[in-house]
Structure formats: C-alpha cells, structure tokens
C-alpha cells in the first residue's frame, strides 16, 4: 500500500495542475494512511479478543455442560461440548502465540477456565455415573488435593496462580478429554484412572516447578526448563550485582 501511495504521489506531482495538485494530493495521501491505520487497529483489536473469547467460552461451558446434562439425556451432546472445549483450549494458546498477544493474565485465565470447565464435567460424571466415581474416588481425592496444594503454594510464593502449560499438562488435557468423551458419550470408563493418575503427575510437576523457580513465569514446558531458567535468572542477578559494585 505504501508503494502504491508513493507512486501515485510521484505521478501527481509530475502531471497534475499546480493549485489542484497542492490541495488534493495531501487529502489523498492522508485518506490512504488513515485507512491503513484503521485496518491495523481493527485487525489487532480482533486478534486480541479472539483468544479471550475462546477462554471465556470454555469457562462458560463449565456450568453450561451441567445444565445440558440436566436438560437432555444424550451423552453425545455432552461429548460434543468436551470436543468444543478441547478445541478452544488448543487454539486460544496457538493463536495468541502466533499473533504475539500472549500475556500472563491471559494464561492465568486460561488455567482458571480449564478448572471451571472440568469442575462442571466432574459434576456431570457424579450425576450420571456415581458407581464409576465410587471406584475411582481414592485417585480423585489425591488429584483434588495436589491440585489445590500446588495452586496454594504458587499463591503464597508468587501471589499468582500457577500457569505453566507444560508438555505433561497438555498430554493430560488430551487424555482427560478423551476419557470424558469415552465415558459421557459412550459409557466406557477404562481411560478414567489413567487420566486421573496423569493429572496427579502433572500437578506434582507443577508443584516442583513452583518450588524451583525464584519468580513467577508462564508457559514453562518442562521441569528441566524450569531448572535452567532458575540458573539463568541467578546468573543474571549475579552479573547485575557485580556491575553495581563496579559502578560504585
């Protein structure tokens, strides 16, 4: 667009009448530039809003799936809700990173939305499959306990909820969604214990990351990366302290 405006300006300067040229040319250039800036603002505004819309949609779907379960008997409808939540969970992060609109607040809200949604899913499972829950209750109790513990520890240490989005947690999201689709959609509960056990492992990793890291960070893919990040931050702090000493 800049090239087109430049060439138009050059042609007008060479061939248009003097007085007319002096009046109209600035107006044409200004209009083109204003349209470009407006387009950029609308585009950026839209890109910022879409990941947030997906996150809010997933949080809303938590109580929504409970209401759907009470209103309709179809398990396939519940499975469809879980598929939609899974897609929103994948693409809100993918699009935010691609468009460079990732923020710590967005990632924390993403974690909260996941928690709200799967709390609703667990309530639906309690209502529809109480016998399955009775068989899995020891693992469920451990999962809830470590989930609460790791977030409380993060709040006490960093004054923020943990939001690491590690590789293990992404695998857990896929496992949990698959297990819930199999259970609610088709009455098959074989993957439930595996998903719960993997969730316990993820929360233990998150707890360890919070213990290792000296400051809050989001999107920490592995425990090894957390250890490397701690060393890097300690090295930077050491270099900064030496620089201050030399300056004195």
* Structure confidence by residue, pLDDT tens digits, 43-75: 457 788 899 999 999 999 999 999 999 999 989
**Domain spans in the chain, listed from the N-terminal domain onward:** 2-247
* Structure confidence by residue, pLDDT tens digits, 97-110: 888 888 889 989 99
* Structure confidence by residue, pLDDT tens digits, 195-208: 999 999 999 999 99
Q: What is the CATH number of domain 2-247?
A: 1.20.120
Q: Is the pLDDT of residue 24 over 80?
A: no
23 CB-side CA count, 13 A: 3
This prediction's pTM: 0.76
3-state helix, strand, coil in the chain (%, to 5): 85, 0, 15
Residue 58 is encoded by which pair of tokens? Answer: 């997933």
* Structure confidence by residue, pLDDT tens digits, 123-162: 999 999 999 999 999 999 999 999 999 999 999 999 998 9
Alpha carbon 211 to chain centroid distance?
22
Contact 198, 171 (CB under 8 A): yes
C-alpha angle 190-191-192 in degrees, rounded to nearest 5:
95
């Amino acid at each position: 667009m800049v090239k087109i405006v430049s060439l138009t300006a050059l042609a007008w300067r060479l061939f248009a009448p003097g007085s007319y040229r002096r009046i109209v040319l600035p107006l044409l250039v200004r209009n083109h530039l204003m349209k470009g800036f407006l387009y950029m603002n609308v585009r950026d505004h839209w890109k910022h809003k879409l990941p947030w819309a997906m996150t809010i949609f997933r949080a809303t779907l938590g109580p929504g799936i409970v209401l759907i379960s009470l209103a309709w008997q179809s398990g396939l409808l519940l499975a469809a809700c879980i598929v939609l939540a899974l897609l929103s969970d994948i693409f809100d992060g993918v699009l935010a990173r691609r468009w460079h609109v990732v923020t710590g607040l967005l990632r924390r809200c993403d974690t909260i939305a996941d928690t709200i949604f799967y709390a609703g899913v667990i309530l639906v499972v309690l209502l529809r499959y109480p016998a399955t829950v009775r068989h899995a209750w020891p693992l469920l109790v451990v999962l809830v306990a470590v989930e609460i513990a790791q977030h409380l520890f993060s709040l006490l240490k960093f004054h923020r909820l943990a939001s690491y989005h590690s590789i293990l947690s992404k695998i857990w999201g896929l496992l949990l969604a698959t297990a819930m689709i199999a259970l609610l959609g088709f009455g098959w509960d074989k993957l439930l214990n595996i998903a719960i056990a993997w969730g316990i492992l993820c929360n233990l990793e998150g707890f360890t990351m919070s213990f290792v890291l000296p400051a809050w960070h989001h999107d920490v893919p592995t425990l090894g990366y957390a250890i490397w990040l701690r060393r890097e931050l300690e090295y930077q702090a050491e270099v900064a302290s030496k620089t201050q000493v030399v300056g004195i």
